[in-house]
């Protein structure tokens, strides 16, 4: 996907060195826009092999409003393994704190909790939050069906009042839905962008969400746009970034999404959606910076 590789190239050519929270160091650019037309296919990168099942599983976790890390682990999704509610397992790089973070299953009121229960008091991963807080995702679905021209279909994961309880304050902190020409568009905002490891996941995840909202509303699939803030490449990713950039983005055509037995986005499970015709170059391993 050329739009993604253009971002990588821009950072390598124009990025400025910065220190960061993890201590790894980055090459960074302030402010980039990612754009993709969903009618051209599903934007799952072909210049490295991407784990579609893991991406879809994390999205299901968000849609359901869950905060229990074990739910993900039980489904072989390990994106959040190193993170935990900092009030229960304080963040730290030392081995003691790393072990506590791995063992603590509560992630705190992260993305999905804010999507589905914004403003509700948070206690623990196993509390019943049914009917508590404001269900932003339900609000978007209702308006998408009844008032598709509405310009207030916004979901925010950014809630500074409870940031101290979150395993990680949201990197992709808000998204907006609009409808043009009977097609659903999704525009997301991201404050911090791990270009080599995180951004390909973000692109694919929001593309699946757009696909599901289109099915929910009976509309077509339109534009996917990301407004990217601190867009960076970690220094320990630089050589492999160059390797990925050397690969031909036109060698493999984009895949397509196929969702069967769809009844509602709220009943959707990751295994209901398949990626069809996906071919790619081999995987490139990028170490996560915690």
Among 133, 153, 136, smallest CA distance to 144 is for 153
Beta bridge partners of 32: 228
Q: What is the 3-state secondary structure (H, E, C) of 226-278?
A: EEEEEEEEEHHHHHHHHHHHCCCCCCCCCEEEEECCCCCCCCCCHHHEEEECC
Is 75 annotated to bind a ligand? Reply is: no
Half-sphere CA count of 103, side-chain side, radius 13 A: 9
pLDDT interval class at 20 (50, 70, 90) = confident
Q: Look-up: residue for tokens 């339109």?
A: 222
How far apart CA 83 and CA 168 sit, in angstroms, is 7
- The answer to whether the annotation marks 85 as part of a ligand binding site is no
The Cα 109–Cα 271 span in angstroms is 25
Backbone angles phi, psi at 210, to 5 degrees: -60, -45
Q: Per the structure, how many domains does the chain have?
A: 1
In a domain, 92, yes or no: no
Active-site entry in 3, 171, 238, 284: 171
* Confidence label for 130 from pLDDT (cuts 50, 70 and 90): very high
Q: What is the domain-level CATH number for residue 6? A: 3.30.572.10
What are the DSSP calls for 191-228, one per residue? EEEETTTHHHHHHHHHHHHHHHHHHHHT-EEEEEEEEE
Environment class of residue 195 by beta-carbon count within 10 Å: exposed (0-12), middle (13-18) or buried (19+)?
buried
* Structural domain harbouring 157: 2-51+135-276
Is 193 among the annotated ligand-binding positions?
A: yes
Residue 82 inside a domain? The answer is no
The gap from C-alpha 103 to its chain's centroid, in whole angstroms, comes to 23
**Using CA atoms, how far apart are residues 183 and 211, in angstroms rounded to an integer?**
10
Query: Is 194 assigned to a binding site?
Result: yes
Mean predicted confidence (pLDDT) in 4-27: 93
Report the pLDDT value the prediction gives residue 15, as an integer from 0 to 100.
Answer: 96
Is 93 annotated as a binding-site member? Answer: no
Q: What are phi and psi of 29, to 5 degrees?
A: -130, 135
- Section 37-54 average pLDDT: 97
Q: pLDDT band at residue 92, thresholds of 50, 70 and 90?
A: confident
To the question of whether residue 289 is assigned a binding role by annotation, the answer is: yes
Confidence of residue 169 (pLDDT cuts 50, 70, 90): very high
234 is in an annotated binding site: yes
Q: Percent helix, strand and coil across the chain, each rounded to 5?
A: 35, 25, 40
Q: How many C-beta atoms surround the C-beta of residue 63 within 10 A?
A: 22
Q: Check the annotation: does 202 bind a ligand.
A: yes
What are the φ and ψ backbone dihedral angles of 59, each rounded to 5 degrees?
A: -65, -40
Residue-averaged pLDDT of the chain: 96
- State the distance between the two ends of the chain, measured CA to CA, in whole angstroms: 27
Share of the chain above pLDDT 90, in %: 93
Is 39 inside any structural domain?
A: yes
Residue 75 lies in a domain: no
Dihedral through CA 199, CA 222, CA 44, CA 66, nearest 10? 60
**C-alpha span between 89 and 14 (Å, rounded):** 38
Tell me if 104 is assigned to some domain. no
> Does any domain span residue 207?
yes
Q: Identify whether 33 is part of a domain.
A: yes
**171 flagged as catalytic:** yes
247 is in an annotated binding site: no
Does 232 carry a binding-site annotation? yes
Any domain includes 63: no
Q: Could you give the 3-state DSSP secondary structure of residue 82? A: coil
Whether the pLDDT of residue 52 is over 80: the answer is yes
pLDDT at residue 63, rounded to an integer: 98
């Amino acid at each position: 996907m050329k739009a993604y590789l253009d971002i990588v190239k821009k950072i390598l050519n124009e990025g400025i060195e910065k220190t960061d929270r993890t201590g790894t160091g980055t090459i960074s650019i302030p402010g980039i826009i990612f754009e993709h037309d969903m009618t051209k296919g599903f934007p799952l990168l072909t210049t490295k092999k991407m784990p579609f099942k893991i991406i879809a599983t994390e999205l299901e976790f968000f849609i359901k409003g869950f905060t229990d890390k074990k739910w993900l682990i039980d489904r072989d999704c390990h994106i959040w393994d190193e993170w935990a509610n900092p009030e229960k397992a304080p963040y730290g790089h030392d081995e003691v704190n790393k072990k506590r973070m791995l063992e603590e299953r509560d992630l705190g009121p992260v993305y999905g909790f804010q999507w589905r229960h914004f403003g509700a008091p948070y206690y623990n991963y196993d509390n019943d939050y049914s009917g508590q807080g404001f269900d932003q995702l339900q609000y978007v679905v209702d308006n998408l069906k009844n008032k598709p021209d509405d310009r207030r279909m916004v979901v925010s994961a950014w809630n500074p009042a409870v940031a101290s309880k979150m395993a990680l304050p949201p990197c992709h902190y808000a998204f907006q839905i609009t409808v043009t020409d009977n097609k659903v568009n999704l525009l997301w905002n991201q404050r911090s962008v791990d270009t080599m490891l995180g951004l390909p996941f973000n692109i694919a995840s929001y593309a699946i969400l757009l696909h599901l909202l289109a099915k929910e509303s009976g509309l077509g699939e339109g534009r996917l746009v990301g407004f990217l803030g601190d867009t960076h490449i970690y220094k320990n990713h630089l050589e492999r970034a160059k390797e990925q950039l050397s690969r031909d983005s036109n060698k493999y055509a984009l895949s397509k999404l196929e969702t069967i037995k769809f009844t509602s986005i709220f009943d959707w499970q990751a295994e209901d959606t398949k990626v069809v015709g996906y071919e790619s170059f081999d995987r490139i391993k990028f170490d996560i910076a915690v």
